[in-house]
A and B are shown apart, each in its own frame.
Chain A
Amino acid sequence: MAEESFLTDDFLGQLISVGEVDILVGVPTHNNAKTIRSIVETIQAGIVTFFPRERAAIINADGGSRDGTPELVVRAAIGDAKPGSKLYALRTLPSISTQYASSPANGTALRTILAAAELLRAKACAVISPESTHLTADWLTALLRPVYTETFDLVLPTYRRHRFDGILLTNLLYPMTRALYGLKIREPYALQFAFSGRLGSQFLAQNPWHEETARAGSEIQFTLAAIGGEYRIGQSFLGTKQHVERHSADLVPAMRQTVGALFSSMEPNFSSWDTKTGSQPIPTAGTEAEFTLEPLRVNRKRLREMFSTGVAELEPVFQSILSTSTLAELQSIARLEEVRFHYPADLWAKTVYEFAAAYHKSVISRDHIIQALAPLFRGRALTFLMENRNGSAADVENNIESLCLEFERMKPYLLEIWNGGE
């Protein structure tokens, strides 16, 4: 109960009035009034349908919404007898909302949900993103059932995605996490996942929440904590993940949140990954991943330009991070025409490993190292697009698999440069 102090008295009072629960669903929000109503109703439908006899609660951790999101969550609570409700629950299903800060912070939102889960002694908890417009009641049981009945500690999602969606996951986070920890976890950074009370409590107690790196990217830190603690991890196929439109400016914050968190966790978890070779599948309900192939407009010229400009302009920065041979190879790629452009998988793996080692050694500001990786990632993304432009779903999967194997093959190089080398 060490974490009580950061929760407000009002929130604590509401939690105490709920008592203990079996199932808890946490929804972190910030100005999600448009979608939150249907999300909460779907969660309620999932609980009433699949966990009718269990004691359950919905916790909303809000980051200072100004569009009435928390009020919508609270209003959706199912009482003993709710007139006009379409759902008939055997038990009450409280929905509690708390504002943890005046601005959104994923880490603090997760911390609030974990603390609530610990106080309510929840056996199984799920975190659901308020942007999940494709959410169905089945998602809830797919995530929670393995934790509640099959003693899994962490259940991560797998999705049917567009082949070019989640390109940072397919080209860096998945291959690198797999090569480091030897587990084929498709979505190490998940916005929908379920976990056991004991894993939640352990992460709540052990994560250094006062550190910026621990708060940023807490979702991936949570996955890595489960791997490091040798908890039972599984995956559940949830269905289609909707395509979220992003702009080029979103890349650096996304990299800070995920790649920064992955790099920073390598130091404390060194003993968990240094001896691992190869990779093993983890228990998965449904297929591991599916791809859709509909056409997507992508400005390839712009990606190439940003890569080439980055390589040319950031040369003094890369000299502190990359080996001479890697930098020379990147410079020769940057000179290639768009049709001949190719950033090979082995060079990409080598680049990422050199960045990880530079991050470990803090050769320059760590945040600058992450920012410097963004233009190179654009180059790799362009190659991935070109390689899979006309490929089938199986071809895309094979391409990702061969990249993963390249990361695994290059792992001794990472170990070599981690404590010495170039």
Chain B
Amino acid sequence: MREMIISELTQAMQELSRGFAHILPRIIVLVIVALAGWVVAYLLKVLLRSLLRLIKFDKLSESAGASQLLSKAALPSATELLSRFVFWVAWLGFILLGISVLGVFGLQEQIAKFFLFLPRLFAAFLTMFFGLLAAGFFSRAALLAAVNANLPSPRLLSVSIRTIIIIFVLSMVFEEVGVAEETVLVAFGIAFGALMLGLAIAFGTGGKDLAQQFLEKRFGQKRKDEEKEDELSPL
């Protein structure tokens, strides 16, 4: 009996040692890959940060209105945020690569899925950034055109254009990352339709006088009379 116990214990110890001997090199590989990954990710971060500073990415982000959003959310600058994002994605990628070496059942598939998701995440990030840039540009263009044409409520026009573009961009981003695609699509349709209907009702009924004034000013006799008075020649 005693011998049997000793034999079983020895066998168990041997199996443990074999298992440990089997896993230890893999853990060492994981640590090495993680450390190497940290170095590579850090270098990528430094390189990207310098590049973004060189192309004045923060200025672009500021004119897109992204900087204001980040500052309101107590987040760092766009350059810092993108650099950190790349650092974590790269390092996480290396860690997952290291973990795949461990040969844990089912983990391989999840890791493969993560790597397949990365390009979509990056595309969503880019869509968001350029979408904000476009929203900022077109809303400012509308604001300037409305002010110089002496149209009523230029700020309202500009904010409406900005909101429509941002809603459109958000729906694209959600679709890209695959978050509640149908819900977002329906929500976008409802929001856009409601906004247009609201504007039409507001302008047609609530702003009847304003609409009349606007149309008269644009196409009526009053405009002709006013313009006849403004005879300053700039050149």
Contacts and interface: CB of A to CB of B under 8 A. Distances in A.
Given A297-B229, A302-B230, A363-B59, A314 B235 contact: no
Contacts of B59: 363
Contact of B232 (A298, A317, A320): A298
B150 A169 contact: no
B3 interface: no
A247 B141 contact: no
A25 B47 CA distance: 58
Given A314-B147, A371-B148, A250 B141 contact: no
A244 interface: yes
Contact of B137 (A302, A309, A314, A365): A365
Contacts of A252: 148
A247 B227 contact: yes
A347 interface: no
The main secondary structure of chain B at its interface with chain A is helix
Contacts of A248: 150, 227, 230
Nearest to A296: B231
Contacts of A166: 233-235
Nearest to A385: B232
B63 interface: yes
Given A247-B227, A306-B150, A364-B63, A371 B144 contact: yes
A211 interface: no
Interface residues of A, number: 44
Contacts of A94: none
Given A302-B226, A313-B155, A374 B148 contact: yes
B199 interface: no
B232 to A, nearest CB: 6
A254 B235 contact: yes
A309 B149 CA distance: 11
A407 interface: no
Task: Determine which residue in A169, A189, A313, A371 has the highest number of CB atoms from chain B within 10 A of its CB, and name it.
Answer: A313
Contact of A314 (B63, B144, B150, B231): B144
Contacts of A244: 233
A133 B74 CA distance: 64
A363 B136 CA distance: 13
B82 to A, nearest CB: 21
A386 to B, nearest CB: 13
The main secondary structure of chain A at its interface with chain B is helix
A10 interface: no
Contacts of B235: 166, 168-169, 189, 254, 258
Contact of A298 (B63, B143, B145, B230): B230
Interface in B189-235: 226-235
A213 B146 CA distance: 24
A306 B149 CA distance: 9
A251 B148 contact: yes
Interface residues of B, number: 26
Contacts of A313: 143, 146-147, 154-155
B79 to A, nearest CB: 17
A364 B59 CA distance: 9
Contacts of B150: 248, 302, 305-306, 309
Nearest to A382: B232
Contact of A167 (B145, B147, B229, B232): B232
A221 B65 CA distance: 34
Interface in A160-188: 164-169
A420 to B, nearest CB: 15
A407 B63 CA distance: 30
Nearest to B62: A320
A189 B62 CA distance: 35
Task: Determine which residue in B143, B231, B235 has the highest number of CB atoms from chain A within 10 A of its CB, and name it.
Answer: B235
Given A248-B227, A296-B231, A365-B140, A375 B147 contact: yes
A314 B232 contact: no
A118 to B, nearest CB: 28
A394 interface: no
Contacts of B143: 313-314, 317
A293 B150 CA distance: 29
B234 A364 contact: no
Interface in A202-239: none
A255 interface: yes
Contacts of A247: 227, 230
B229 A298 contact: yes
Interface string B137-170: 1001101111111100011000000000000000
A332 interface: no
B144 A299 contact: no
Contacts of B227: 247-248
A296 B59 CA distance: 46
Given A249-B149, A317-B143, A254 B230 contact: no
A273 B147 CA distance: 34
Contact of B140 (A251, A296, A368): A368
A269 to B, nearest CB: 22
Task: Determine which residue in B146, B147, B228, B230 has the highest number of CB atoms from chain A within 10 A of its CB, and name it.
Answer: B230
10 pairs of A and B residues whose beta carbons are closest in the complex: A168-B234, A299-B229, A371-B144, A254-B234, A246-B233, A313-B154, A247-B227, A299-B230, A165-B233, A310-B147
27 contacts: A164-B232, A165-B233, A166-B233, A166-B234, A167-B233, A169-B235, A246-B231, A251-B148, A251-B234, A255-B234, A297-B231, A298-B232, A299-B226, A299-B229, A306-B150, A313-B146, A313-B147, A313-B154, A317-B143, A363-B59, A364-B63, A364-B140, A365-B63, A365-B141, A368-B140, A372-B144, A381-B232
Given A309-B150, A313-B154, A363-B63, 16 more contacts: A164-B232, A166-B235, A169-B235, A249-B148, A297-B229, A297-B231, A298-B229, A299-B229, A302-B226, A306-B150, A309-B147, A314-B143, A317-B143, A320-B62, A368-B141, A375-B148
Interface of A: 164-169, 189, 243-252, 254-255, 258, 296-299, 302-303, 305-306, 309-310, 313-314, 317, 320, 363-365, 368, 371-372, 374-375, 381, 385
